[in-house]
Amino acid sequence: MRILITGGAGFVGSSLAIALKQNYPSYEIFCLDNLKRKGSELNVARLGKQGITFIHGDIRSKEDFDALPNVDSVIEASAEPSVLAGLNGSPDYLINTNLFGTVNCLNYAVKCKANFIFLSTSRIYPIKTIETLDFVESETRFELTNNQKVKGVSSRGIAEDFPLDSARSLYGTTKLASELIIQEYNEFYNLKTVINRCGVLTGPWQMGKVDQGVMVLWIAKHFFEQQLAYIGYGGTGKQTRDILHVADLYRLIDWQLHNIDKVNGEILNAGGGVEVSVSLQELTKICQKITGKTIPINTVAENRPADIRLYITDNSKVTALTGWKPEIGVEQIVEEIHAWLAENREALEPILK
């Protein structure tokens, strides 16, 4: 099999590429990336060591696709991933990358007659609707109840039939627009596609920032003994998310690559679910335990733009279709990221400190 991974030097793209090459040494894997995100340059050497071909290019440029070889499958993992992107300035890069870039990827896949696996986001679900959901406040977190007035949500989390009629951030909108276009290509160009709406992804080699990659950010701030803040919702740190280790995501993508006919045309939520979820307050305690360090954490009561109180993925559909479910728990995720920080401190300190 020959596979192109866009965003291939990013956290998710490089992680998928390396795992695929290790499990299928005979596969030819090409990684396309513009290296815009700080830290992605570190992954180029990692890809090369595995025998993966790195191509410096940009999905916004049609010409960059002309030089690419034909492949059997495309994994579209490129994105401007910040939920705050475009809110405080021009949205041009966001829209050109996350929407028009996806169209270029689709046209390339049609030319190659390649299968198309798209990494979307849970952020396609509208903010205001999520914020009106019924919840309870426990000692350390917010939790969804079964007493909901909208469909597609329960104590298990948010499902694929959750209502989509409201604003969701420019980032979420570009990904949802891409989903709609992918469905058209599936129907009218006979392109085999599957869309994965991923929750919070994390793991070693993620260059965490406050607006994207909060798990690594939280652990790194403890590791380097800097300060953090609980921002919004009263400043208690009870905001809750499910998290998914990139190795668990890999298992799903691996299955889809080799069973595309069984999920062709599907839209699937993929996250940690209730079982692999954590609040900021709970995450702080785990970080203290694993790093052995306690750092100052400020409190800011006011909410940030585009933030949500809690998000949990309901994986019922993807599990029923594929048998997949997450296996790596929160403590193991923190342990792995902490070990990665310790092992690569010199290279990571200028990026994450």
The residues spanned by each domain of the chain are 2-352
Neighbour-count burial of 75, counting CB atoms closer than 10 A to its CB (0-12 exposed, 13-18 middle, 19+ buried): buried
DSSP string, 312-336: -B--HHHHHHH-------HHHHHHH
Q: How big is the chain by its Cα radius of gyration, in Å?
A: 19
Residues 188, 220: Cα–Cα separation, whole Å: 46
Sign of the dihedral through C-alpha 129, 281, 234, 173: negative
The model's pTM? 0.96
Report the DSSP pairing between strands 157-158 and 153-154.
Answer: antiparallel
Q: What is the pLDDT of residue 88?
A: 79
User: 3-state DSSP call for residue 261?
Assistant: helix
Exposure string over 172-202, b if 16+ CB within 10 A, otherwise e: bbbbbbbbebbeebbeeeebbbbbbbbbbbb
Q: What is the pLDDT of residue 208?
A: 85
Q: What is the pLDDT of residue 82?
A: 81
Q: What is the pLDDT of residue 80?
A: 87
299 phi/psi in degrees, rounded to 5 = -125, 135
Q: On the CB side of 209, how many CA atoms lie within 13 Å of its CA?
A: 13
277 phi/psi in degrees, rounded to 5 = -130, 160
- Could you read off the pLDDT tens digit of each residue along the chain, which spans 353 residues? 999 999 999 999 999 999 999 999 999 999 999 999 888 999 999 999 999 999 999 999 999 999 999 999 999 999 988 888 888 788 999 999 999 999 999 999 999 999 999 999 999 999 999 999 999 999 999 999 999 999 999 999 999 999 999 999 999 999 999 999 999 999 999 999 999 999 999 999 999 877 678 999 999 999 999 999 999 999 999 999 999 999 999 999 999 999 999 999 999 999 999 999 999 999 999 999 999 999 999 999 999 888 999 999 999 999 999 999 999 999 999 999 999 999 999 999 999 99
DSSP string, 274-307: GGGEEEHHHHHHHHHHHH-----EEEE-SPPTT-
Amino acid at site 248: D
CATH class of 2-352: alpha beta
| Best CA proximity match to 331, nearest among 295, 288, 293, 286 | 286
Residues 191, 174: Cα–Cα separation, whole Å: 21
- Running DSSP on this structure, what letter comes out for residue 211? T
- Report whether 98 contacts 178 (CB < 8 A): yes
